Amino acid sequence: MNNPVSPAAPSGMAPGTPPVLQLRGIGKFFPGVIANKDVDLDVWPGEIHALLGENGAGKSTLMNVVTGIYQPEEGEIILDGYGQTFASPQDAIRAGIGMVHQHFKLVQAFTVAENIHLGWDEAPRLASPAVMEARTREISERFGFPVDPAARVADLSAGEQQRVEILRVLARRARLLIMDEPTAVLTPEETGELFRALRAFRAQGNAVIIISHKLDEVMEISDRVSILRGGRKVGTFRTADCNPSMLAATMVGRDIVRRNMRARAEGAAPIAPQPIMQLRHVSVRDDRGVETLRDVSLDLHGGEILGIAGVAGNGQRELTHVLTGLMARTSGEIVLDGSVVNRADPALFAHAGVGHIPEDRLRSALAPSLSITTNMALREYAQPPIGRHGLYDAGAAGVLAHDIAELAQVSIPDFGMPIRNLSGGNQQRLVARREIRIANRVLVAAYPARGLDIGAIATMLGYLTDLRDQGVAVVFISEDLEDLLNVSDRIGVMFHGRMMDVIDAENADIATIGMLMGGREPASLQPGGPQ
């Protein structure tokens, strides 16, 4: 591994030039969580600095500190050699720090020119559309981001909207541009354009921080890379000294305790030779026409746990929704128990024995304002004993809720209280047990351990292996490689909506998974391929 570079100015810079941004010992804590601790970072004028890390590594928190959204509990922020505190994002903007978020913050119904001028203190007091459009055109030409000032934002492609966001920031005289996952929504051509523009911006002596988990892009665009892990900085490296496999290893490379939970108990169901569910070349496009799931083919076998690894937002949500009938595929085929089911019909899937522990349980699996009993009946309200002849038996629902709570080991004082009064961990356990009840064939569990403590995580993983032993096909989506490696039989790695590869978990190599998560083609990872 390369040694981290010292914070000395890069060569070719006038001596005495201070970094644009210096962070010294930044610490930021949330109740029960250390989001950042002892983070030092130097960003020099004329550099593109990549910030690399897994989900939850603290990248976003750190950038929120830099842009004044959060105030750090420890450490200092130094701009051009002077200490600064930002009471609000406006302070950071005035100091020349601009951030382009992954999810654009534009007013869809406004034109490009209106969005650029919105909340800008340099906007003329009385501005006609013509004046604003002329000003926008001038800004657009000055910074080399072509936009149509009169176009309505809602009509623009994702790449064009991003240009508007960048212009918004540059128009406010940003010298440090922070971009969060800028290429996630872009086509390869748009990515190329963006990188050209970023290089031009750098050439004027400005700095860019780019948050990414795509190793190839980091290698292509950045001058230096800083890697965060568990809220702390692991190191800063010259990109020229790095290679993707070393970055991947550093990013995910904490000590992973491998406990084999693959061993079957006596009498457990073997892996069924015939798949219960199959995806054949399934693709999904979202409302903006972006392909969020690309040509995914998968076989789910009874008695097997298929782990899905990948940085969040790489198609896991779409995969879960396609597997549970919540989302229609745009092309390809879904085969369930031998028959093609291309209709998005969640009732049909649930009836066929497909359980679903969704990622955002409060938003999609529960009605937070309704009682615990009502929520526990959600999957079985139409079947006896709760549902008979179109009636709903509240007493039977209460019995069911008691059963579920007992199995989930959640003690509940009052089953009539709204379920949002329970802690997130207890909600998660209840949803998991509710879904396991109906999952006779398949259980799709998206991040089921998220927000649980260590003991609860072990219980949750135990639920999954129990189901597997009963012959259910389990899909286990997680961002925790340790859990994935411990319980999965096979692991599929997703990147950009694609299933990069499905590998045998027993012999899986963490560095390989890290490379696949970062978008490296499996072919290039074979022995003899470029390293």
CB of 347 to another protein, least distance (A): 3
Q: State which H helix or E strand residue 312 sits in.
A: none
The sign one gets for the Cα dihedral 10, 13, 17, 19 is: negative
Q: Which two tokens stand for residue 49?
A: 């600095």
Q: Count of CB atoms within 10 A of residue 126's CB?
A: 6
* Rounded Cα gap, residues 101 and 90, in angstroms: 15
**By C-beta, is 265 or 391 nearer to another protein?**
391
Q: Does 351 bind another protein (CB under 8 A)?
A: yes
Q: Does 370 bind another protein (CB under 8 A)?
A: yes
Min dist CB 61 to another protein, Å, is 23
Rounded CA separation 2/237 (Å): 7
Residue 464's Cβ-side half-sphere holds a number of Cα atoms within 13 Å equal to: 32
Closer of 30 and 392 to another protein (Cβ): 392
Residue 416 found at the interface with another protein (CB under 8 A): no
Q: Based on the shown chain and the rule CB under 8 A, indicate whether residue 366 belongs to the binding site for another protein.
A: yes
How many whole angstroms separate alpha carbon 357 and alpha carbon 376? 13
The answer to whether 363 contacts another protein (rule: CB under 8 A) is yes
Instruction: Provide the minimum distance between the beta carbon of 382 and another protein in the complex, in angstroms, as a whole number.
Output: 6
Candidates 13-21, 190-198, 237-245, 349-357: pick the segment binding another protein (CB under 8 A).
349-357
Options 46-54, 109-117, 311-319, 355-363: segment touching another protein (CB under 8 A): 355-363
**444 vs 487 by CB, closer to another protein:** 444
- From candidates 39, 186, 227, 350, binder to another protein by CB under 8 A: 350
Dihedral sign computed on CA atoms, order 494, 496, 497, 498 = negative
Is residue 110 involved in binding another protein (CB under 8 A)?
Answer: no
Positions of E strands within 337-423: 339-340, 354-357, 387-388, 391-392
In contact, 45 and 205? CB cutoff 8 Å: yes
What's the angle, vertex CA 226, arms to CA 221 and CA 231, rounded to 5?
135
- Smallest distance, another protein to C-beta of residue 362, A: 9
| Given 10, 18, 313, 346, the residue binding another protein (CB under 8 A) | 346
DSSP 224-279: EEEEEETTEEEEEEEGGG--HHHHHHHHH-S--------PPPTTPPPPPSSEEEEE
Site for another protein in 50-109 (CB under 8 A): none
Which tokens is 434 given? Answer: 């509710």
Selected range binding another protein among 75-83, 114-122, 278-286, 359-367, rule: CB under 8 A = 359-367
418 binds another protein, rule: CB under 8 A: yes
Q: Is 120 helix (H, G, I), strand (E, B) or coil?
A: coil
345 binds another protein (CB under 8 A): yes
Does residue 137 interact with another protein by CB under 8 A?
no
| Per-residue binding letters, 374-393, with another protein (x by CB under 8 A) | x--xxx-xx----x--xxxx
Helices 129-143 and 158-171 sit at what angle, rounded to 10 degrees? 90
* Cα Rg of the chain, angstroms: 25
Of the pair 145, 349, the CB lying nearest another protein is at 349
- Interface with another protein by CB under 8 A: which range of 85-93, 238-246, 247-255, 347-355? 347-355
| Helix, strand, coil % in the chain, rounded to nearest 5 | 35, 25, 40
Q: Among 162, 173, 160, 138, which Cα is nearest to 210's?
A: 162
Q: How far apart are the C-alpha atoms of 360 and 364, rounded to whole Å?
A: 6
Between 420 and 449, how does the x/- string for binding to another protein read (CB under 8 A)? xx----------------------------
Q: Which is nearer to another protein, 14 or 347 (CB)?
A: 347
C-beta of 286 vs 466, nearer to another protein: 286
Give which of 48, 49, 77, 46 is closest to 64, Cα–Cα: 77
Q: Which of 261, 326, 502, 511 binds another protein (CB under 8 A)?
A: 326
User: From the list 205, 332, 368, 451, which residue makes contact with another protein (rule: CB under 8 A)?
Assistant: 368
User: According to the binding rule CB under 8 A, does residue 399 interact with another protein?
Assistant: no
* C-beta closer to another protein: residue 257 or 391: 391
Comparing CB distances to another protein, the nearer of 118 and 367 is: 367
- Name the minimum Å distance from CB 169 to another protein: 33
- CB of residue 294 vs another protein: minimum separation in angstroms? 24
Instruction: Using alpha carbons only, give the angle 472, 473, 477 rounded to the nearest 5 degrees.
Output: 130
CB of 430 to another protein, least distance (A): 13
Positions touching another protein (CB under 8 A) are 324-326, 345-351, 356, 358, 363-370, 374, 377-379, 381-382, 387, 390-394, 417-418, 420-421
